[in-house]
Protein backbone atom coordinates (compact mmCIF):
# COMPACT_ATOMS: atom_id res chain seq x y z
CA UNK A 1 0.00 0.00 0.00
CA UNK A 2 1.32 3.41 -0.96
CA UNK A 3 2.61 5.57 1.87
CA UNK A 4 2.87 8.81 -0.13
CA UNK A 5 0.20 10.35 2.06
CA UNK A 6 2.61 9.94 4.99
CA UNK A 7 5.52 11.55 3.15
CA UNK A 8 6.62 15.18 3.64
CA UNK A 9 5.42 18.03 1.44
CA UNK A 10 6.43 21.69 1.44
CA UNK A 11 4.15 24.72 1.69
CA UNK A 12 6.14 27.91 1.35
CA UNK A 13 9.23 27.51 3.49
CA UNK A 14 7.58 24.97 5.81
CA UNK A 15 8.06 21.24 5.40
CA UNK A 16 4.96 19.37 6.55
CA UNK A 17 5.55 16.00 8.19
CA UNK A 18 2.79 14.35 6.14
CA UNK A 19 0.01 15.14 3.65
CA UNK A 20 -2.88 14.96 6.10
CA UNK A 21 -4.49 18.23 7.16
CA UNK A 22 -6.84 18.98 10.03
CA UNK A 23 -9.82 20.59 8.31
CA UNK A 24 -11.37 23.70 9.88
CA UNK A 25 -13.99 22.58 12.41
CA UNK A 26 -16.15 25.18 14.13
CA UNK A 27 -16.62 23.84 17.68
CA UNK A 28 -18.02 26.80 19.64
CA UNK A 29 -15.62 26.80 22.62
CA UNK A 30 -14.50 30.44 22.68
CA UNK A 31 -15.83 32.99 25.15
CA UNK A 32 -18.70 35.32 24.28
CA UNK A 33 -15.99 37.87 23.41
CA UNK A 34 -14.46 35.48 20.86
CA UNK A 35 -11.41 34.67 22.99
CA UNK A 36 -9.92 31.16 22.82
CA UNK A 37 -9.12 29.31 26.06
CA UNK A 38 -6.56 26.88 27.45
CA UNK A 39 -8.61 23.99 26.06
CA UNK A 40 -7.99 25.27 22.52
CA UNK A 41 -4.24 24.80 22.93
CA UNK A 42 -4.91 21.29 24.24
CA UNK A 43 -7.34 20.48 21.42
CA UNK A 44 -5.01 21.55 18.61
CA UNK A 45 -1.87 20.06 20.16
CA UNK A 46 -3.68 16.72 20.55
CA UNK A 47 -4.15 16.78 16.76
CA UNK A 48 -0.68 18.05 15.87
CA UNK A 49 0.16 14.75 14.18
CA UNK A 50 -1.39 16.31 11.09
CA UNK A 51 1.13 17.87 8.74
CA UNK A 52 -1.03 21.00 8.51
CA UNK A 53 -3.60 22.25 10.99
CA UNK A 54 -6.20 24.76 9.79
CA UNK A 55 -8.02 26.41 12.65
CA UNK A 56 -11.72 26.71 13.08
CA UNK A 57 -13.21 29.65 11.20
CA UNK A 58 -12.21 32.85 13.02
CA UNK A 59 -14.07 36.15 12.72
CA UNK A 60 -12.16 39.06 11.18
CA UNK A 61 -14.37 41.77 12.73
CA UNK A 62 -17.38 42.30 14.94
CA UNK A 63 -19.53 42.56 11.80
CA UNK A 64 -18.18 39.17 10.66
CA UNK A 65 -19.53 37.31 13.73
CA UNK A 66 -22.34 34.84 13.23
CA UNK A 67 -21.72 31.68 15.27
CA UNK A 68 -22.14 31.29 19.03
CA UNK A 69 -18.81 30.51 20.69
CA UNK A 70 -16.66 31.07 17.60
CA UNK A 71 -13.33 32.83 18.08
CA UNK A 72 -12.13 36.14 16.65
CA UNK A 73 -8.84 37.72 15.61
CA UNK A 74 -9.74 41.44 15.62
CA UNK A 75 -8.97 42.52 19.21
CA UNK A 76 -5.75 42.51 21.23
CA UNK A 77 -7.27 40.11 23.76
CA UNK A 78 -8.25 37.64 21.03
CA UNK A 79 -4.84 37.88 19.38
CA UNK A 80 -2.93 37.32 22.62
CA UNK A 81 -5.08 34.30 23.49
CA UNK A 82 -4.10 32.54 20.25
CA UNK A 83 -0.36 32.68 21.10
CA UNK A 84 -0.34 29.61 23.39
CA UNK A 85 -2.10 27.66 20.62
CA UNK A 86 0.52 28.43 17.97
CA UNK A 87 3.31 27.83 20.47
CA UNK A 88 1.89 24.41 21.38
CA UNK A 89 1.70 23.39 17.72
CA UNK A 90 5.22 24.57 16.95
CA UNK A 91 6.55 22.64 19.94
CA UNK A 92 5.03 19.52 18.35
CA UNK A 93 6.78 20.28 15.05
CA UNK A 94 3.63 20.97 13.08
CA UNK A 95 2.34 23.92 11.04
CA UNK A 96 -0.84 25.91 11.73
CA UNK A 97 -2.79 28.33 9.53
CA UNK A 98 -5.62 30.52 10.81
CA UNK A 99 -8.83 30.50 8.79
CA UNK A 100 -10.15 34.05 8.26
CA UNK A 101 -13.95 34.21 8.32
CA UNK A 102 -16.77 36.63 7.64
CA UNK A 103 -20.15 34.93 8.02
CA UNK A 104 -22.02 37.41 5.82
CA UNK A 105 -25.75 36.82 5.49
CA UNK A 106 -25.64 33.69 7.69
CA UNK A 107 -25.28 35.99 10.71
CA UNK A 108 -28.11 37.77 12.56
CA UNK A 109 -28.65 41.17 14.16
CA UNK A 110 -28.58 39.47 17.60
CA UNK A 111 -24.81 39.05 17.20
CA UNK A 112 -24.24 42.80 16.90
CA UNK A 113 -24.39 45.26 19.79
CA UNK A 114 -26.41 47.85 17.92
CA UNK A 115 -28.60 45.33 16.14
CA UNK A 116 -27.06 45.86 12.70
CA UNK A 117 -28.33 43.53 10.00
CA UNK A 118 -26.06 40.86 8.55
CA UNK A 119 -24.43 41.82 5.25
CA UNK A 120 -24.21 40.24 1.81
CA UNK A 121 -23.68 40.91 -1.87
CA UNK A 122 -27.43 41.36 -2.40
CA UNK A 123 -30.59 41.55 -0.30
CA UNK A 124 -31.39 37.82 -0.44
CA UNK A 125 -32.11 35.92 2.78
CA UNK A 126 -31.22 32.32 3.58
CA UNK A 127 -34.22 30.03 4.03
CA UNK A 128 -34.63 28.62 7.53
CA UNK A 129 -33.39 29.52 11.00
CA UNK A 130 -30.09 30.52 12.58
CA UNK A 131 -28.76 29.89 16.12
CA UNK A 132 -28.24 33.32 17.69
CA UNK A 133 -27.05 34.33 21.19
CA UNK A 134 -30.76 34.77 22.02
CA UNK A 135 -31.98 31.48 20.58
CA UNK A 136 -33.05 30.14 17.21
CA UNK A 137 -34.56 32.74 14.86
CA UNK A 138 -35.40 33.08 11.16
CA UNK A 139 -32.60 34.38 8.92
CA UNK A 140 -32.95 38.08 8.13
CA UNK A 141 -32.85 39.86 4.79
CA UNK A 142 -29.25 41.12 4.75
CA UNK A 143 -27.95 44.59 4.01
CA UNK A 144 -26.19 44.73 0.63
CA UNK A 145 -22.69 46.07 1.17
CA UNK A 146 -21.93 49.39 -0.48
CA UNK A 147 -18.66 49.79 -2.36
CA UNK A 148 -17.20 51.79 0.55
CA UNK A 149 -18.26 49.04 2.96
CA UNK A 150 -16.60 46.42 0.75
CA UNK A 151 -13.37 48.44 0.87
CA UNK A 152 -13.64 48.61 4.66
CA UNK A 153 -14.18 44.85 4.85
CA UNK A 154 -11.05 44.28 2.76
CA UNK A 155 -9.17 46.31 5.37
CA UNK A 156 -10.74 44.16 8.10
CA UNK A 157 -9.26 41.08 6.41
CA UNK A 158 -5.87 42.78 6.26
CA UNK A 159 -5.96 43.75 9.95
CA UNK A 160 -7.01 40.21 10.91
CA UNK A 161 -4.06 38.83 8.90
CA UNK A 162 -1.73 41.22 10.75
CA UNK A 163 -3.10 39.95 14.06
CA UNK A 164 -2.69 36.33 12.92
CA UNK A 165 0.94 37.03 12.11
CA UNK A 166 1.43 38.65 15.52
CA UNK A 167 -0.15 35.59 17.17
CA UNK A 168 2.45 33.33 15.57
CA UNK A 169 0.46 31.61 12.84
CA UNK A 170 2.43 30.17 9.93
CA UNK A 171 -0.10 31.56 7.48
CA UNK A 172 -3.79 32.23 6.88
CA UNK A 173 -6.55 30.58 4.91
CA UNK A 174 -9.13 32.89 3.32
CA UNK A 175 -12.52 31.23 3.82
CA UNK A 176 -14.30 31.70 0.49
CA UNK A 177 -16.61 28.69 0.79
CA UNK A 178 -19.91 27.51 2.29
CA UNK A 179 -21.98 30.57 1.47
CA UNK A 180 -20.08 33.01 3.69
CA UNK A 181 -19.37 36.54 2.51
CA UNK A 182 -16.75 35.90 -0.19
CA UNK A 183 -18.58 32.86 -1.60
CA UNK A 184 -21.75 34.94 -1.50
CA UNK A 185 -20.09 37.38 -3.92
CA UNK A 186 -18.60 34.63 -6.10
CA UNK A 187 -21.89 32.90 -6.85
CA UNK A 188 -24.59 34.05 -9.26
CA UNK A 189 -27.35 32.65 -7.03
CA UNK A 190 -26.58 35.18 -4.30
CA UNK A 191 -24.85 38.00 -6.18
CA UNK A 192 -27.39 40.04 -8.17
CA UNK A 193 -25.36 43.25 -8.16
CA UNK A 194 -25.13 45.51 -11.21
CA UNK A 195 -21.98 47.40 -10.14
CA UNK A 196 -18.31 46.44 -10.49
CA UNK A 197 -18.76 43.61 -7.95
CA UNK A 198 -21.54 41.80 -9.82
CA UNK A 199 -22.42 40.25 -13.15
CA UNK A 200 -19.34 38.83 -14.86
CA UNK A 201 -17.03 36.23 -13.33
CA UNK A 202 -14.32 38.91 -13.18
CA UNK A 203 -16.58 41.29 -11.26
CA UNK A 204 -17.81 38.62 -8.85
CA UNK A 205 -14.19 37.63 -8.19
CA UNK A 206 -13.16 41.25 -7.50
CA UNK A 207 -13.88 41.16 -3.74
CA UNK A 208 -11.82 37.98 -3.20
CA UNK A 209 -9.06 39.38 -5.43
CA UNK A 210 -8.88 42.53 -3.32
CA UNK A 211 -8.76 40.48 -0.12
CA UNK A 212 -5.92 38.31 -1.48
CA UNK A 213 -3.97 41.38 -2.57
CA UNK A 214 -4.48 43.12 0.78
CA UNK A 215 -3.22 40.07 2.68
CA UNK A 216 -0.24 39.84 0.32
CA UNK A 217 1.00 43.03 2.01
CA UNK A 218 1.09 41.09 5.31
CA UNK A 219 2.12 37.53 4.40
CA UNK A 220 4.12 36.31 1.40
CA UNK A 221 2.01 34.45 -1.18
CA UNK A 222 3.24 31.04 -0.06
CA UNK A 223 1.80 31.60 3.43
CA UNK A 224 -1.73 32.23 2.15
CA UNK A 225 -4.39 29.67 1.24
CA UNK A 226 -7.89 30.00 -0.20
CA UNK A 227 -10.85 27.67 0.38
CA UNK A 228 -13.63 27.12 -2.20
CA UNK A 229 -16.79 24.95 -2.27
CA UNK A 230 -18.02 24.63 -5.88
CA UNK A 231 -20.40 21.75 -5.04
CA UNK A 232 -21.75 23.14 -1.79
CA UNK A 233 -25.39 23.65 -0.86
CA UNK A 234 -24.73 24.80 2.73
CA UNK A 235 -26.23 28.24 3.54
CA UNK A 236 -28.58 27.99 0.55
CA UNK A 237 -25.84 27.95 -2.08
CA UNK A 238 -25.51 26.37 -5.51
CA UNK A 239 -25.37 28.30 -8.81
CA UNK A 240 -26.29 27.12 -12.30
CA UNK A 241 -22.95 28.37 -13.66
CA UNK A 242 -20.89 26.73 -10.89
CA UNK A 243 -18.60 24.80 -13.24
CA UNK A 244 -17.71 27.73 -15.48
CA UNK A 245 -17.42 30.24 -12.66
CA UNK A 246 -15.26 28.13 -10.34
CA UNK A 247 -13.01 27.10 -13.23
CA UNK A 248 -12.42 30.82 -13.84
CA UNK A 249 -11.84 31.55 -10.14
CA UNK A 250 -9.33 28.71 -9.78
CA UNK A 251 -7.43 29.91 -12.85
CA UNK A 252 -7.30 33.43 -11.39
CA UNK A 253 -6.18 32.23 -7.95
CA UNK A 254 -3.42 30.17 -9.62
CA UNK A 255 -1.82 33.40 -10.88
CA UNK A 256 -0.92 34.40 -7.32
CA UNK A 257 1.26 31.32 -6.58
CA UNK A 258 -0.32 30.98 -3.15
CA UNK A 259 0.66 28.42 -0.53
CA UNK A 260 -2.33 26.27 -1.43
CA UNK A 261 -5.86 26.05 -2.76
CA UNK A 262 -8.29 24.10 -0.57
CA UNK A 263 -11.21 22.71 -2.58
CA UNK A 264 -14.23 21.07 -0.96
CA UNK A 265 -14.77 18.63 -3.82
CA UNK A 266 -16.38 15.89 -1.73
CA UNK A 267 -20.16 15.77 -1.31
CA UNK A 268 -20.45 14.89 2.38
CA UNK A 269 -21.49 18.46 3.25
CA UNK A 270 -24.37 18.43 0.77
CA UNK A 271 -24.51 18.77 -3.04
CA UNK A 272 -26.63 21.18 -5.08
CA UNK A 273 -27.02 18.64 -7.94
CA UNK A 274 -26.88 21.30 -10.66
CA UNK A 275 -24.68 19.10 -12.83
CA UNK A 276 -21.92 16.57 -12.40
CA UNK A 277 -19.85 17.30 -9.27
CA UNK A 278 -16.81 19.56 -9.62
CA UNK A 279 -13.97 17.13 -8.93
CA UNK A 280 -10.45 17.52 -7.58
CA UNK A 281 -9.29 16.30 -11.02
CA UNK A 282 -10.94 19.35 -12.61
CA UNK A 283 -9.31 21.60 -10.04
CA UNK A 284 -5.92 20.06 -10.84
CA UNK A 285 -6.35 20.80 -14.56
CA UNK A 286 -6.59 24.48 -13.68
CA UNK A 287 -4.31 24.69 -10.65
CA UNK A 288 -0.64 23.62 -10.79
CA UNK A 289 0.20 24.53 -7.19
CA UNK A 290 -0.45 22.79 -3.87
CA UNK A 291 -4.03 21.45 -3.80
CA UNK A 292 -5.90 20.25 -0.72
CA UNK A 293 -8.92 17.99 -1.26
CA UNK A 294 -11.62 17.78 1.40
CA UNK A 295 -15.06 16.62 2.46
CA UNK A 296 -15.93 13.02 3.20
CA UNK A 297 -12.66 11.34 2.27
CA UNK A 298 -11.54 8.12 3.93
CA UNK A 299 -7.92 6.99 4.02
CA UNK A 300 -8.19 4.81 0.91
CA UNK A 301 -9.61 7.41 -1.47
CA UNK A 302 -7.31 10.02 0.10
CA UNK A 303 -4.32 7.85 -0.81
CA UNK A 304 -5.74 7.42 -4.32
CA UNK A 305 -6.06 11.13 -5.14
CA UNK A 306 -2.60 11.86 -3.71
CA UNK A 307 -0.96 8.93 -5.56
CA UNK A 308 -2.61 10.07 -8.80
CA UNK A 309 -1.29 13.62 -8.31
CA UNK A 310 -4.75 15.19 -8.22
CA UNK A 311 -4.19 16.48 -4.66
CA UNK A 312 -1.08 17.15 -2.58
CA UNK A 313 -2.89 16.89 0.76
CA UNK A 314 -6.27 15.70 1.97
CA UNK A 315 -8.04 17.43 4.87
CA UNK A 316 -10.04 15.39 7.36
CA UNK A 317 -12.65 16.97 9.61
CA UNK A 318 -15.13 14.84 11.50
CA UNK A 319 -12.78 11.82 11.93
CA UNK A 320 -10.44 14.13 13.86
CA UNK A 321 -13.16 14.96 16.42
CA UNK A 322 -13.01 11.57 18.17
CA UNK A 323 -9.58 10.51 16.90
CA UNK A 324 -7.00 13.09 18.01
CA UNK A 325 -4.31 10.60 16.91
CA UNK A 326 -5.92 10.10 13.50
CA UNK A 327 -2.63 10.06 11.59
CA UNK A 328 -1.19 7.30 13.80
CA UNK A 329 -4.39 5.30 13.45
CA UNK A 330 -4.17 5.61 9.66
CA UNK A 331 -0.47 4.68 9.64
CA UNK A 332 -0.93 1.61 11.82
CA UNK A 333 -4.31 0.53 10.46
CA UNK A 334 -5.83 0.92 13.92
CA UNK A 335 -9.63 1.17 14.13
CA UNK A 336 -11.21 4.61 14.35
CA UNK A 337 -13.29 5.65 17.33
CA UNK A 338 -16.90 6.26 16.39
CA UNK A 339 -17.95 9.83 15.75
CA UNK A 340 -19.61 11.43 18.75
CA UNK A 341 -23.24 12.56 18.32
CA UNK A 342 -23.72 16.12 17.01
CA UNK A 343 -24.97 17.56 20.35
CA UNK A 344 -21.42 17.16 21.73
CA UNK A 345 -19.79 19.01 18.83
CA UNK A 346 -20.71 22.51 19.98
CA UNK A 347 -20.93 22.36 23.77
CA UNK A 348 -19.00 25.16 25.44
CA UNK A 349 -16.66 23.12 27.66
CA UNK A 350 -14.04 20.35 27.43
CA UNK A 351 -16.60 17.54 27.10
CA UNK A 352 -16.71 16.19 23.56
CA UNK A 353 -13.69 18.34 22.73
CA UNK A 354 -10.48 17.26 24.46
CA UNK A 355 -11.63 14.09 26.27
CA UNK A 356 -11.11 11.54 23.46
CA UNK A 357 -8.19 9.23 24.25
CA UNK A 358 -5.57 8.08 21.77
CA UNK A 359 -5.68 4.48 20.62
CA UNK A 360 -4.77 2.02 23.41
Q: Find the catalytic residue in 43, 44, 180, 197.
A: 180
Going from the C-alpha of 327 to that of each of 21, 101, 110, 252, 334, the distances in angstroms are 9, 27, 40, 33, 10
Rounded Cα gap, residues 176 and 123, in angstroms: 19
In the residue annotation, 297 being an active-site residue is answered as no
Mapped to the 3 state alphabet, what secondary structure does the chain carry?
Answer: CCCHHHCCEEECCEEECCCEEECCCCCCCCCCCCCCCHHHHHHHHHCCCCCEEEEEEEECCCCCCCCCCCCECCCHHHHHHHHHHHHHHHHCCCEEEEEEECCHHHCCHHHCCCCCCCEECCCCCCCCEEEECCEEEECCCCEECCHHHHHHHHHHHHHHHHHHHHCCCCEEEEECCCCCHHHHHHCCCCCCCCCCCCCCHHHHHHHHHHHHHHHCCCCCHHHEEEEECCCCCCCCCCCCCHHHHHHHHHHHHHCCCCCEEEECCCCCCCCCCCCCCCCHHHHHHHCCCCEEEECCCCHHHHHHHHHCCCCCEEEECHHHHHCCCHHHHHHHCCCCCCCCCHHHCCCCCCCCCCCCCCCC
Per the DSSP assignment, residues forming a β-bridge with 21 are 52, 315
Please identify every residue annotated as catalytic.
180
Amino acid sequence: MSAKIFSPVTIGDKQLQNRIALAPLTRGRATDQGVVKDIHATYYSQRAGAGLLITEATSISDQARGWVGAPGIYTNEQTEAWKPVTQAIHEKGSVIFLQLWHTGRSSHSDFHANGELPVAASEIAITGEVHTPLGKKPYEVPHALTIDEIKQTVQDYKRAAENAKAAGFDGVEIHSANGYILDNFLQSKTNHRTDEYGGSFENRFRFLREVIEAILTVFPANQIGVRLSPNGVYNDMGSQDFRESFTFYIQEIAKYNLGYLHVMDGLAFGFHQLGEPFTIQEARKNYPGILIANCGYDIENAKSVIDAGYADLVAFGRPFITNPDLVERFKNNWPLAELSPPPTWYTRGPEGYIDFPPYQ
